A and B are shown apart, each in its own frame.
Chain A
Amino acid sequence: MIELLQYDFFTNALLAALLASISCGIIGSYIVARRMVFIGGGITHASFGGIGIAYFLGINPMFGAAVFAVLSAMGINWFTNRGNLRQDSSIAIWWSLGMAVGIIFIALTPGYAPNLMSFLFGSILTVSGTDLLFMGVISTITALAFLLFFKTIMIISFDEEFAKARNMPVKTFDYLLIILSALAIVASIRVSGVILVLSLLTLPQATANIFTRKFQYISIASIIIGFVAMLSGLITSYYTNLPSGATIILILTLFFALGKIIASLHSLFKNKS
């Protein structure tokens, strides 16, 4: 297994796994706590529109995805607040609009689109230096934002109205965090693709939540769970020749199931003694 580390693509993949688990661990804990998972789903799928346009224009697809993700995050809020539309409808519109735009522009691009599957389902083994740089910047900003403003984020997330009554910067933080979430999601598209990325933001958190109900612990545990799952998924997919993104998701689900089993065994044991 050590010989794997001699390959650049493998060390890149390892680094990508580490960075993605940091940003997904933190942002995932936030969106799960605030019950914003479905918004995350909307943003992820909408970002595919950006990938399609970037393809057509011949620029970096991650850049297109980032622009679209942020726009759709704002768009969902805007439609809901100004357009008098219920939030789930607003999400669904952006979700499918993004996918539609993406597929149309890919169809318009001359020639075959070989990387289409990798954007839909991820391909951590083809992560480039530029991707790593982008992921590094996003993970650092995310980690810093939560380290510095943790208490404020917590108070606002828990009770927005109370925070407003206290004149806290509720709107500023809402926008800041939704943009950060959008970027963190885009940064993880490389790992598991547009379609699967949502599970990187929810499965580690759900697993951690079995054992702890403290936000800080959930975030830290999610980072570790995410990284271990990505690492084992990466190795498994290398030896079995299975798609890496999907393998990672299966392993994460396995961890969750194991967590549930351990927790129920524990309570069974506790009740008997």
Chain B
Amino acid sequence: MNELIEIRDLTVRYGEYTAIKDVNLTISQSDFIGVIGPNGGGKTTLLKALLGLLKPSSGKITFSKKLKNKQSDIGYLPQINKFDHRFPITVKEVILSGMAGKNRWMNPYGKNDNEKLEKIINELHIEHIVKKPIGELSGGQMQRVFLGRALISEPKLLVLDEPDTYVDNQFEHELYEMLVELNKRMAILLVSHDVGTISSYVKGIACINTVFNYHPSNIISPEQLKAYNCPIQIITHGEVPHTVLGKHNHQHSHNDI
């Protein structure tokens, strides 16, 4: 079987508030899934539950034996705007930190980690900024550096939280091309509020607005989105049918759960 992760009836509540409800999803080895949804729709909550940062209120996440080292087999790219960009740390140190794990307090890095660092630096074309403090990078460079941190441990699943914010269009396309390339050797789960660009690259689209709907193709119509209760604007690119979804006024309040 090619399954990496199986999510069954996953529900996460913060007190009275239900962030995500009854999510079912199976992630397999060659998947490239884009999860779209409005702000506050539970995108980040889903990722955090997957990464073990949040305890499910109910439901279950099962990791296959292929992910035996859960920490380094899942690469994680958080939203870069949440970092303190003036923190005194260099590009090299950030990327290497992707090798850190349990039980190595004194020296979190192993012998081969420097070779892995070289490889990643070449692959991402960031040789010229390795020694720079992160505060001197542009948005696109920063994104590459954090991608480097996620990739250095050679994960089997790459999880990205809104990698398309704070970067320009040029870099956005480069990033997606890179992801398509990476998808040849790892599964990718990407979260975004912009359905337009991702839909021309991913293999499947899921929509989350507390409830979760998976659509195993990258073509999704406004009607489907509407049916999914997912108020997302489509600004089309590439092969997607040229339709723009306007504002629509059905209720998304959390009361209807």
Contacts and interface: CB of A to CB of B under 8 A. Distances in A.
Q: Do A and B come from one complex?
A: yes
A164 B83 contact: no
- Most chain B CB within 10 A, of A33, A151, A167, is at A151
A158 to B, nearest CB: 5
B100 A164 contact: no
8 contacts: A33-B88, A149-B106, A151-B107, A152-B108, A155-B97, A158-B94, A166-B71, A213-B136
- Most chain A CB within 10 A, of B74, B100, B109, is at B100
B88 A159 contact: no
A152 B74 CA distance: 20
A214 B78 contact: no
B101 A167 contact: yes
A196 B87 CA distance: 25
B89 A163 contact: no
Contact of A158 (B97, B135, B136): B97
Nearest to B47: A165
A215 B89 contact: yes
A161 interface: yes
Interface of A: 29, 33, 35, 148-149, 151-152, 154-155, 157-159, 161-169, 209, 212-215, 218
Given A161-B78, A165-B52, A152 B100 contact: yes
A82 to B, nearest CB: 15
B89 A154 contact: yes
- Most chain A CB within 10 A, of B87, B135, B149, is at B87
B105 interface: yes
Nearest to B150: A162
Contacts of B93: 154
A172 to B, nearest CB: 9
Contacts of A148: 106
B71 A165 contact: yes
A165 B105 contact: no
The 8 A-B residue pairs whose C-beta atoms are closest, nearest first, are: A213-B133, A215-B88, A167-B102, A155-B97, A165-B51, A166-B71, A213-B88, A151-B108
